[in-house]
Structure formats: C-alpha cells, structure tokens
Amino acid sequence: MRTLTRLCPQGTRIRENEEISQPYSIESHNPRTLDSIVQDVLCYRGKETNPRWVDIEPELYTPLCTIYADTSKVARQPLIGPDGVYYVQDFKIILLCGLTELQAQICWVENGIEKRGPAKIVYDDDLQVSA
C-alpha cells in the first residue's frame, strides 16, 4: 500500500509567505540514485479527516504538482545493513506560499548550518515549470 504524508490538513488556511515543510529520509545502496528526487504532491478530495493510504480510495486523490530537486549536495550517511553498505540522505521539501504562486525548495543541515537549494514545480494540469 502507498502511504500518504500530509503537508496540511484539509481546510487549513495558509497565510502569505508561510512555509510548509515535510522531512524525508531516503535510503539507497547506490549513492548516485540520491542525486535527485521527484515527489508528487496530491490533493485529497474525500471526507476522511486523517487519510493515510492512497490505495484505499485512489479516485479521491488528484495530482496537484510534482516537485523536482537536485539533491547531489545533500550529505549521504553510509551505514551497514544485512545486505551491505547503504546510504541515507535526510532533507526537507519546503513549499513557499506567496500571493500569486507556489514555490519550492529543499533544505538540509550541513555542519549544524541550514542550507537551502532550489526545486522546480511542474503542474500536472498544464505541465508548466515554475523555478
């Protein structure tokens, strides 16, 4: 089943210049696969107050946009597991709410300092890219 991570509850009023963020921890045996991310942002149109599984009512989820980001500068922590060495990368996707447009960034911590990088938003309805 596909799990859902909720950015903001349905009906939430978002103020101008408000940031919404979601942490991610990605694992891979191949560190090169951690150089970029693609993350869909879905809109839930159902009645559940806390939906958790996309697979249960898939017709109630519509794509809002897709976030693309270069994560090659985000540190990878090597770990050893039962199948050998794998890498973990921790970062946040941040959505910046403006008056007329939504913007996206990625954020990570490097030597105790918060770093940010650009992300692109591709809207599914018209496939236009916002930088």
Phi, psi of 13 (to 5 degrees): -90, 130
- Span 36-94, pLDDT tens digits: 999 888 887 878 777 777 778 888 888 888 899 999 999 999 999 999 999 999 999 99
Task: Give the pLDDT confidence score for residue 29 in this predicted structure.
Answer: 96
Domain boundaries, the chain: 19-130
Global confidence as pTM: 0.78
Beta carbons within 8 Å of 70's beta carbon, 6+ residues apart? 35, 36, 117, 118
pLDDT in tens, 93-119: 998 887 678 889 999 999 999 999 999
Structure-block tokens of residue 97? 């709410």
Q: What is the pLDDT of residue 2?
A: 46
**Angle CA 65–31–94, to nearest 5:** 30
